[in-house]
């Protein structure tokens, strides 16, 4: 198989010919049909997350078909279409796993980070963490749902019943979750880079009731806010725009340092919470929602060999939609 391989953070990926992996007990060999590029991939490639395995094949928004089935796997057949997300394995025995918090498992493995991912023509995955995909999306369109959608949905869940929701950083996750929030009857205020009129127009087009720069205040205070942008300075800003008892949810795996802020901004039972990874419950619930709505997903496809271009254009902010590698 061909794969884009990371040997050293901060350097381009290399296209290589490798031997197809073989599925072990409880695993599937999946022939990759699409793999969306995620901001977490940038953090890994750029070295903003510690390198825990090198060489590494990145990618964790994987869509493919089952090609081989390992021993003890049930519920899958050859040619089934499946999705493979960031969370790739958990122990099932620790206190976190036994309390419906497998996303915090101390021994967890992550697709495209601690185990090889989908910037390749084939990948091996634990069958327990492979999911049936809604039939009303093609391969490229459904791929971003496997992280931007799933992590976004977990962040949305943490806002509880907030009716007025602010979203800071209007990228892939924000575009998806705005549509879900609007379908739930919530109002969404979108915050972009100051002066980014195009992004603000796109936010209104996708369902936001107001859009402005992150340096602006919304028309009314927010019940909750989600910060998808990896910019710590947005957290105190979001806090100051909340009602009493409001919550700021930080939706990324990496963020720059949060600057100090006045206790007054936190007082009156406002809170800050982070989102770490996802659970299989998140995946099942969200994919059922996606099948019902459906969601508008904009993508721009690249060949596997053009993986470096896709990553660079994501980094530069010049994509027209989610970058998707198609082997």
CATH value at residue 133? 3.90.180.10
- Residue 317 pLDDT class (50, 70, 90 cuts): confident
Q: Using one digit for the tens of pLDDT, what is the confidence trace for 129-165?
A: 999 999 999 999 999 999 999 999 999 999 999 999 9
What is the reported pLDDT for 320?
84
Same domain, 204 and 263: yes
CB hemisphere CA count around 327 (13 angstroms): 24
Interatomic CA distance for residues 245 and 316, integer angstroms:
37
| Residue numbers of the domain that contains 69 | 2-147+278-326
Same domain, 297 and 241: no
**pTM, to two decimals:** 0.94
Q: What is the DSSP string of 65-100?
A: EEEEE-TT--S--TT-EEEE-SEEE--S-STTGGGT
Inside any domain, residue 153: no
Same domain, 123 and 66: yes
Same domain, 49 and 176: no
Q: Using one digit for the tens of pLDDT, what is the confidence trace for 216-268?
A: 999 999 999 999 999 999 999 999 999 999 999 999 999 999 999 999 999 99
Q: Using one digit for the tens of pLDDT, what is the confidence trace for 183-227?
A: 999 999 999 999 999 999 999 999 999 999 999 999 999 999 999
Number of domains the chain is built from = 2
Interatomic CA distance for residues 256 and 44, integer angstroms:
15
Residue 320, judged by CB atoms within 10 A of its CB (0-12, 13-18, 19+), counts as: exposed
Same domain, 117 and 28: yes
pLDDT at position 51 over 90: no
Q: What is the DSSP string of 141-209?
A: HHGGGGTHHHHHHHHHHTTTT-SEEEEES-SHHHHHHHHHHHHTT-EEEEEESTT-HHHHHHHHHHT-S
Q: Using one digit for the tens of pLDDT, what is the confidence trace for 295-313?
A: 999 999 999 999 999 999 9
Same domain, 134 and 197: no
């Amino acid at each position: 198989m061909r794969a884009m391989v990371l040997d050293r953070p901060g350097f381009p990926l290399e296209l290589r010919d490798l031997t197809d992996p073989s599925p072990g007990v409880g695993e599937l060999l999946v022939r990759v049909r699409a793999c969306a590029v995620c901001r977490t991939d940038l953090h890994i490639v750029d070295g903003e997350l510690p390198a825990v395995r090198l060489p590494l094949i990145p990618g964790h928004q994987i869509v493919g078909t089952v090609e081989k089935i390992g021993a003890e796997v049930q519920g899958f057949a050859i040619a089934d279409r499946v999705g493979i997300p960031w969370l790739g394995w958990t122990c099932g025995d620790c206190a976190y796993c036994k309390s419906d918090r497998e996303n915090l498992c101390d021994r967890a493995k992550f697709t495209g980070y601690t185990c090889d991912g989908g910037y390749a023509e084939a990948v091996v995955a634990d069958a327990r963490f492979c999911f049936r995909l809604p039939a009303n999306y093609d391969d490229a369109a459904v791929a971003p749902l496997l992280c931007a959608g799933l992590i976004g949905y977990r962040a949305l869940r943490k806002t509880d019943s907030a009716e007025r929701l602010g979203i800071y950083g209007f990228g892939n996750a924000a575009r998806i979750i705005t549509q879900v929030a609007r379908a739930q009857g919530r109002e969404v205020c979108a915050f972009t880079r100051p002066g980014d009129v195009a992004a603000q127009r796109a936010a209104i087009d996708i369902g936001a009731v107001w859009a402005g720069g992150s340096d602006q205040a919304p028309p009314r205070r927010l019940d909750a806010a989600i910060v998808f942008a990896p910019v710590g300075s947005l957290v105190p800003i979001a806090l100051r725009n909340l009602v009493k008892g409001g919550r700021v949810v930080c939706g990324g795996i990496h963020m720059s340092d949060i600057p100090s802020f006045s206790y007054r901004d936190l007082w009156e039972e406002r809170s800050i919470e982070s989102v770490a990874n996802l659970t299989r419950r998140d995946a099942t619930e969200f994919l059922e929602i996606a099948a019902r709505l459906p969601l508008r997903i904009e993508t721009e496809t690249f060949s596997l060999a053009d993986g470096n271009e896709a990553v660079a254009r994501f980094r530069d902010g010049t994509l027209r939609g989610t970058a998707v590698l198609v082997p």
